[in-house]
Amino acid sequence: MTLRRLLPAALLAAFALPAMLRAQDTTRSVRIGLTYATGTRPGVFVSPVPGVHADSIRAMLSRDLEYGDRVSVIAPDGGDPPSVTINYGLYGQIGAAALVQATLTSSGTLHVVLHDVSAARVINVADFPLTGTALGPAWRLGVHAASDEVEYWITGQRGLSATRILFIRDQKMWSVDYDGANAGPVPGLGGALSPAWHPSGRYVAYCELTSGGTLVVIRDLVAGTTRRIARVGGTNISPVFSPDGKTLVFAGGEDGIELFSVSFARNDPPVRVTVGRGSQNMSPSFSPDSRRVAFTSNRLGHAEVYITDVDGTNVDLLTTTVTERNPYRSNPDWSHDGRRIAYQAQTDGGFQVMTISLRDRLTNQLTSDGSNEDPSWGPDDRHMVFTSNRSGENQIWVLDTETFRSRQLTRVGSARMSSWSPRLVSPK
């Protein structure tokens, strides 16, 4: 290729289409639904949506796909709704490997069509029910569910946009959609700390903070009812549900804090899990098979992360202390695939979020900007929420642990103790 022939293309790239060309570079070897490979980001074009709330739907689909960090959304602004015949060649030229077409039907469902641009054909079609007031929380959840399905069609990995994050602000429980929308207090609750989702997405366990101390309670988010679980003397804190939904483990006690387990269905007396001999053992997190629990203990004089079987046997120190300064590691959160545990480790002037591999115990530091604490995995085991003071005060942030891209989720001040929900809409 001669310089004379290259130059116009280079100029065009520099001034007009840099995003498209970058996207094109990453999509050369991609074939939708067939050879999507980790590390590549197929270009996706979301067509303008005709009709009422069209801009909102298109913006949400585009943003959801962008926040998933697995595809490149191309030119989300402008363009016309495609006519009956799709000019696949045109979309190919702007680097789109996939074309998403969405329309609102008269019955109120979102009709979504996914085109494979290079194969020049439709590869998936589905309708997604949108309920409640347009642009309301339930309606938005419906659009997010469509985004998650589209991401699954393209990459084989379901998106995580049909989720919410619970967090604590001023000792009250707040909820926010994964994209920052609908941030507000969960109605009807008093003082609350440490929210933890039930795998059904319907219940949340939390530590109720009263003038008489702390209790562990379970809130039914659908019925709006609250139930106290059997307590132990002294303090009752940091509840967590097992992934099978059958067990709740929390920390409590008067002279020494131990882990206790109770059945979710029956209100039996708590059964002790740990034997800490006067030390403090708290912040449990279950393994995916619901048989083991990672937790924080100071039994060696400083906070470290341990793992125990839920029956109290096979206790193991997970985070090692040799040659480490500032020993203080806490708040484990076990990934849903079981491969790694995120936690916070003390460094100079604060904490940073780390992960440790269960296979080889290699650690990885994920944050460095400000002080960062209390990680909670999203349902895709790739994104997490955590508390960071990098903006000047504690806020909840989202981190993509593969690209290290982060975004600020909350803007309400003094937010902490975040917990990422399971997917709140069942996959089709």
Partner 1 sequence: MTRSTLTIRTSALLLASLALGACRAKPTPVPTPKAPVAAPATPDSAAARRAAEDSARAAQPVPTPKAPEPQPATPARTTAPSAVAGTGPVTADERRAAEAARVALLERIYFAYDADEISPDQRAVLDAKLPIMLANPRVRLRISGHTDERGADEYNLALGQRRAASVKRYLAARGVGDERIETLSFGREHPLTDGHDEDGWAKNRRGEFEIISGGETLRAPR
Beta bridge partners of residue 351, listed in sequence order: 346
- Residue from the set 118, 263, 298, 408 that interacts with partner 1 by CB under 8 A: 298
Is 361 a binder of partner 1 (CB under 8 A)?
Answer: no
Q: Which residues contact 214 (CB under 8 A, 6 or more apart)?
A: 193, 207, 208, 235, 236, 237
Beta carbon nearer to partner 1, 140 or 299: 299
Q: Which residues contact 287 (CB under 8 A, 6 or more apart)?
A: 243, 293, 294, 307, 334, 338
**Binding of partner 1 at residue 261 (CB under 8 A)?**
no
Backbone conformation region of residue 234, classed left if phi is above 0, alpha if psi is from -120 to 50, else beta: left
- Smallest separation, CB 235 to partner 1 (Å): 4
CB 139 within 8 A of CB 425: no
What is residue 381's three-state secondary structure?
A: coil
Q: Residue 296 or 335: which CB sits closer to partner 1?
A: 296
Minimal distance, residue 308 CB to partner 1, in Å:
16
Contact set for partner 1, span 160-199 (CB under 8 A): 171, 193-194
For partner 1, which is the closer residue by CB, 4 or 325?
Answer: 325
As a whole number of Å, the CA-based R_g of the chain is 24
Q: Where are the alpha helices (DSSP H) in 97-136?
A: none
Site string for partner 1, 237-256 (x = CB under 8 A): xx------------x-xxxx
Residue 87 to residues 1, 62, 83: CA-CA distances in angstroms?
A: 28, 20, 9
Burial of 401 (0-12, 13-18, 19+ CB in 10 A): buried
Q: Give yes or no for residue 142 binding partner 1 (CB under 8 A).
A: no
Binding positions for partner 1, 268-287, rule CB under 8 A:
278, 280-283
CB closer to partner 1, 22 vs 202:
22
Size of the site for partner 1 (CB under 8 A): 48
CA dihedral over 298, 300, 305, 308, signed as positive or negative: negative
105 binds partner 1 (CB under 8 A): no
Nearer to partner 1, 184 or 213 (CB): 213
3-state secondary structure of 1: coil
Closest CB to partner 1 among 101 and 395? 395
Stretch near partner 1 under the rule CB under 8 A, chosen from 100-108, 130-138, 308-316, 364-372: 364-372
368 binds partner 1 (CB under 8 A): yes
Extract the tokens encoding 175: 């909820």
Distance CA 353, CA 251 (A): 22
Taking the least distance from each CB to partner 1, the nearer of 149 and 374 is 374
* Cα–Cα dist 391/39, whole Å: 29
Q: Does 80 bind partner 1 (CB under 8 A)?
A: no
Candidate list 261, 330, 335, 421; residue touching partner 1; CB under 8 A: 330
Verify binding: residue 321, partner 1, rule CB under 8 A. Answer: no
User: Measured in whole angstroms, how far is the alpha carbon of residue 255 from the centre of its chain?
Assistant: 36
Interface characters, 403-422, with partner 1 (x: CB under 8 A): -xxx---------xx-----
Q: Which residues bind partner 1 (CB under 8 A)?
A: 171, 193-194, 207, 209, 212-214, 234-235, 237-238, 251, 253-257, 278, 280-283, 296, 298, 302-303, 325-326, 328, 330-331, 344, 347-349, 351, 365, 367-369, 373-374, 404-406, 416-417
